[in-house]
Amino acid sequence: MKTRLTRRAQANLDDSWLHIAELSQNTEAAPKVIRSLEDAIDAVGQNPNMGRRRDLDLRAGLRSFVVDQHVVVYRRRRSSVSIAGIFHHTQNLPTLFQ
């Protein structure tokens, strides 16, 4: 199944890269984390039911899974998987989806 990043998810990915690069003062660390996130996003296209259902705490139809210190939130569509957002695990997800 094809995966697609929403604008929000792409912005989250870009922000994560910048944050990691600035925090670590190491431009090699950020690409490694982003690569692991992208690999996991590709994997969800192969197994769209792999994530935890988030119907009750976020929104109906959403699922999520953890990659390192990030939570990837997505929705399975008829013929694709739409990545709704990529967040640091310390963020309060329910407030972000209100």
Domains of the chain: 2-96 (3.30.2310.20)
CA angle 48/64/10 to nearest 5° reads: 90
Report how far apart, in Å, the C-alpha atoms of 33 and of each of 23, 42, 44, 57 are. 13, 14, 17, 27
pLDDT (tens digit per residue) in 36-88: 999 999 999 999 999 999 999 999 999 999 998 999 999 999 899 999 999 99
Q: What is the pTM of this model?
A: 0.89
Ramachandran bin of 27, using left for φ above 0, alpha for ψ from -120 to 50, beta for the remaining angles: alpha
Residue 3 has pLDDT above 90, yes or no: yes
